[in-house]
Amino acid sequence: MSGLEVNKILASIILAILIIILIGYLSNIIVETEHEENKESAYKIDIPESNLSNMTSIATNEESIESISELLKNASLEKGEKIFKKCGSCHNYKKDSKSKVGPNLWNVINRSKASINGFAYSKALLDLGGSWTFQELNEFLYRPNEYIKGTKMNFSGLKKVEDRANLILWLRQHSDNPATLP
């Protein structure tokens, strides 16, 4: 390579750098880069006070869990059995069967919480106390991790109230003496 070709390559590189610097300088002149701190850059939207209270009440109503008492009367055992398939990977439901990852659910309605001997319950469930009523199971199955903060049960829950009613009715029948419907 001759000295002339090396000079052409170096000149091209220097020219490219000068062009990039010049474009950057011109773009700063064209586009304002310094912003005023007190300058408003958005439109203000006035929201009436009444809309805020309505939004709060709507959010509160969405978080309330529907009662399943009336739905249990028309619930389906067949649909409940299908829904239990989601639970069956972690729970047994047959009498005297061993617990899996989760405790055995035989005779769960009106059974004391955390009462299966030999099963390692979470501290949160042990501290909760009480019995599994229809409504308690309904609330727990809606969102287990929110109902009992710190539970070991890794299940997102059943959002449809009909699904919870069908499952609870199906669980009710798996007992020596099924609990009376509310």
Residue-wise pLDDT tens digits, 29-79: 888 766 666 666 555 666 555 444 444 433 333 456 777 878 888 889 999
Provide the domain limits for residue 110: 67-172
Asked whether residue 27 carries a pLDDT value surpassing 70, the answer given is: yes
Q: Are residues 89 and 137 in the same domain?
A: yes
| 156 located within any domain | yes
| 13 located within any domain | yes
H-only helix segments in the chain: 3-30, 49-63, 69-73, 77-87, 123-128, 134-142, 144-147, 161-172
pLDDT at 38: 61
Residue scoring higher pLDDT (53 or 157) = 157
Asked whether residue 129 carries a pLDDT value surpassing 90, the answer given is: no
